[in-house]
Structure 1
């Protein structure tokens, strides 16, 4: 990770869960981390916690479902900090609904966050890298095992569709990056069940606690290890897709 020291990473959904854990680790590795979240106070709290570490946190409030806010954010990063060297698309949302009873507004929100915002942040990050001649930049999508199999859990079916899209987009961007004749890489990390706040929008508090007590889960830090593995690989090595499950998870 030495070559990333002093360079700039952007992490979406940086205020909690995997995003906060990633921010902590990257700052400890000496990176400047633009922590993007609608609840920017949470990112600021993480930044306060990390004062004195080799790197630093740059909190930015942004609703990534709003194209103009995303574009303004990248322009601000360009003007004040130079540009993004690592883009980690971590933000995601899940709603508890089947395909038979789902609401269009919830479907759109999942697509806007899980797919469209991911694409826009990726496009802008790669553009920033190419403009500055950054030949070793890295895009990382926090995908899911749901992006590779359709589980018999009806309330997850639309979420699964959004994550299948991320799987296709990861390969599509890999192919497009090869056409740029650079060494910019893209990786997808696909966790199984991780104990984060994402299920707050899927289950009520009691059901969430029971779920995590009954189901073998990973912790956010377990996913961070896989991200560091991808970032640490030699520049000519493409870590394309990593699946991470609890050893007791069945699917």
Structure 2
């Protein structure tokens, strides 16, 4: 099997959640590989900082302020891409949130935020990317950034609803594979499921303070966002006839 990113160089990739953490790590790797990367996130200033850092690389990062829980903002972002950069070849659904909530006494607003961001937004962006790929005869690639919690239920306080949303991503990956097969499409779909990754996700959820992040992760072997970026590059590098349906990636020694 020949591993190569050559066919993607110069092509357009959309990465959601590109302002920090895993999404930023993925965007950076794809820019370094020569793609024209459109970052969608609410914190445009963070993406602009990353774009400045990546100046001089073979690709480029285009930040677009987008709240993926608002369908109209997703549609506007995709419209801008089509009018200014051309056909979409890659979509990476990396936007995700946790919230400090549970099932027995949880907050409905938080539940909606979790499902809107982790599951429904992924459905909308996937639909729009596939419509564009098919309209332009592009055999593209859709990548969902899932989690170990989308395959097994972790015994960890406040992750019950988050895990439920991510199990939905696992089901949607297989659902899409079957749909694409039914129309004989060569668009590929991959779910990448990391274990523990050192990001601000749990701090942004209110599960711990930002100042406590290092101590929180200290005793747990963890990945870093760049590792997930490398995983995305790997699945994109495989030949067109190869479908990496699910990739589970954990730190060596993760407990």
Offset at 1:36? 0.8
Q: Which residue number corresponds to residue 8 of structure 2? A: 4
Offset at 1:206? 4.3
Q: Which residue number corresponds to residue 121 of structure 1? A: 125
Q: Which residue number corresponds to residue 30 of structure 2? A: 26
Candidates 227, 232, 235, aligned match of 2:237:
232
Please list, as runs of the form range in 1=range in 2, the aligned pairs for 1:1-251 lying within 5 A after superposition: 1-134=5-138, 136-200=139-203, 201=205, 202-250=207-255
Distance 1:151 1:18 in 2: 20
Over the residues paired in the alignment, what is the CA RMSD in angstroms? 1.1
Structure 1: which 5+ residue stretches go unaligned? none
Cα deviation code 1:192-224 (max 9, x no counterpart): 010011111132234433211122111111111
Offset at 1:119? 0.5
Quick check: 240-249 or 165-174, which moved more?
240-249
Q: What is the aligned residue count?
A: 249
Cα deviation code 1:52-82 (max 9, x no counterpart): 1111111100111001111111111111111
Report 1 or 2 for greater relative contact order, CA contacts < 8 Å, sequence distance ≥ 6.
Answer: 2
Moved over 6 A (4+): none
Check the 8 A contact 1:87/1:125 in 2, yes or no. Answer: yes
Structure 2: which 5+ residue stretches go unaligned? none
Check the 8 A contact 2:200/2:210 in 1, yes or no. Answer: no
Distance 1:147 1:189 in 2: 10
Give the TM-score, by structure 2 length: 0.95
Check the 8 A contact 2:142/2:189 in 1, yes or no. Answer: yes
Check the 8 A contact 1:36/1:59 in 2, yes or no. Answer: yes
Give the TM-score, by structure 1 length: 0.96
